[in-house]
Amino acid sequence: MKDLIAKMAREGYEPGFPGSMETANHAIDAELCANGICENCNHVGLTYMPFVEQTSQDFRAFSFCPECGNAEEL
């Protein structure tokens, strides 16, 4: 997870999401991740990792596998 956070920071993003986005949208993404299966190791249960670039409010989100560290952009 540290590597993903560092990579996103180099690109100008920080953990979080734009205030303009509906909370329900994030709840759905988090639930999908929680029930997701890692494409790398088949671990069930991924972590939802949202990132925002504060100036532009650009948003990117990832599923992160706590087992193998694989991250996939949603």
Residue 18 — pLDDT band, cuts 50, 70, 90? confident
Q: Coil, helix or strand for 43?
A: coil
Rounded mean pLDDT, 13-28: 83
Range of the domain at 16: 2-73
Reduced to 3 states, what is the DSSP secondary structure of residue 1? coil
Long-range pairs of 29-36 with CB within 8 A, sequence gap ≥ 24: 29/61, 29/74, 32/63, 33/63, 33/64, 33/74, 36/63
Q: Which residues lie closer than 8 Å to 13 by C-beta, 6 or more apart?
A: 51, 52, 53, 58, 60
Number of domains in the chain: 1
Question: Can you tell me the mean pLDDT for 45-74?
Answer: 95
- The residue ranking higher by pLDDT, 52 or 22, is 52
